[in-house]
Amino acid sequence: MTVIVRPARPGEEGDIVRLIRALAIYEHEPDAVKISEEALRGHLFNDHPRIFAHVAEAEGRVVGIAVWFLNFSTWTGKHGLYLEDLFVEPEMRGAGVARALFKALAEEAKARDCPRIDWAVLDWNELGKGLYRKLGAWHNAEWEPWRLDGAALKALQD
Amino acid sequence: MTVIVRPARPGEEGDIVRLIRALAIYEHEPDAVKISEEALRGHLFNDHPRIFAHVAEAEGRVVGIAVWFLNFSTWTGKHGLYLEDLFVEPEMRGAGVARALFKALAEEAKARDCPRIDWAVLDWNELGKGLYRKLGAWHNAEWEPWRLDGAALKALQD
């Protein structure tokens, strides 16, 4: 089986949203996905995109996705790649699709002079973490993710 | 004492880098800051900036900074604000400067239809966490930050 990884093209928003949903189901959050194909299209395909997607294609079908954007480090003074979503269809696992997606992202990082790829994984997701460890990635455990949203965010806006 | 929070202006890169360095010292990483004023200027002040800064001014001096960029959620389909660095000079603490910076970011979030502000804090930084709790922020503990960099990243690029 040949797997091709390449930047997503206009018209593939449906496949991407399908796999975003499949990932959310895997993450036990089936109702979390509010994004529409139209909104995704507007974000991905414009003159100055702030988000990007790669797809993995096998036998003419999209079987995996990586959705990412550029973050920034005030220490390095450089952008990094932030991987928001990575997903490979369950029936396609074990064939190197996720690794091929990471390889494409690593090449994007090189082309953009980004010294890091960062992402977040659910603490119970040992399947994901096993793959990440094989790639040589590490859990940046001393930094805690914090969030302000909902009523607390609104309170600051009044 | 009057504190004014506003977007940073060209010419303030020196103040911003000074406070980025002060934050790195507070975080026990005094040698981590490689960013130059020139690089920061290029990132902040161009036609399509990917990073942004607010400054807090008191008595005609920059005494606090917030450096941020836009992240993206495939669940909400919206950008969020990611706060990369927040710092207030030690002698200015307790006067509401950090809160005023958060308020300005909350207003930016509203203007840009961003439902969240996210950031990371070092696990031992109770001073920071105390402030964040007062604002109603929360530790998004189930998501672990992971990173691919250095030799492991290079290995994927060959």
The percent of residues in chain B predicted with pLDDT above 90, rounded, is 95
pLDDT of residue B158: 83
**Assigned token pair, A102:** 């990471």
CATH number for the domain harbouring residue A29: 3.40.630.30
Task: Name the band, by pLDDT with cuts 50, 70 and 90, for residue B1.
Answer: confident
Distances (CA, A) of B76 to A56, B66, B92, B100: 24, 24, 37, 27
pLDDT of residue A40: 97
Q: What is the DSSP letter of A150?
A: H
- A132: annotated active-site residue: yes
C-alpha A106/C-alpha B153 separation (Å) is 6
Q: What is the ipTM of this complex?
A: 0.96
Is A75–B136 a contact, with Cβ atoms under 8 angstroms apart?
Answer: no
Q: What is the DSSP letter of B95?
A: S
pLDDT of residue B146: 98
Q: Which residues on neighbouring strands pair with residue B107, listed in sequence order?
A: none
Structural domain of residue A109, as residue ranges? 3-157
CA B137 to chain centre: 15
pLDDT of residue B133: 98
Task: Name the band, by pLDDT with cuts 50, 70 and 90, for residue B4.
Answer: very high
Is B147–A34 a contact, with Cβ atoms under 8 angstroms apart?
Answer: no
Walk along chain A (158 residues) and give the pLDDT tens digit of each residue: 799 999 999 999 999 999 999 999 999 999 999 999 999 999 999 999 999 999 999 999 999 999 999 999 999 999 999 999 999 999 999 899 999 999 999 999 999 999 999 999 999 999 999 999 999 999 999 999 999 999 999 999 98
**pLDDT tens-digit map of B54-86:** 999 999 999 999 999 999 999 999 999 999 999
> In chain B, how many H helices and how many E strands?
5, 7
Is A74–B107 a contact, with Cβ atoms under 8 angstroms apart?
Answer: no
Q: Looking at beta carbons, which residues of chain B come within 8 Å of A36?
A: 77
Q: What is the DSSP letter of A29?
A: -
pLDDT of residue A158: 83
Q: Looking at beta carbons, which residues of chain B come within 8 Å of A72?
A: 43, 50-51, 67, 69, 84
- Give one word for B150, left, alpha or beta, with left for phi > 0 and alpha for psi -120 to 50: left
Mutate to test the interface with A, among B38, B52, B68, B146 (most CBs of A within 10 A): B146
8 A C-beta contact, residue A53 and residue A44: yes
Chain A closest-CA separation from residue B60 CA (Å) = 24
Domain count, chain A: 1
pLDDT of residue B51: 98
Catalytic-labelled residue, pool A54, A109, A132, A153: A132
Task: Name every residue whose Cβ is closer than 8 Å to that of residue A152 and which is 6 or more positions away in sequence.
Answer: B135, B136, B137
- Residue B7: phi, psi to the nearest 5? -60, 145
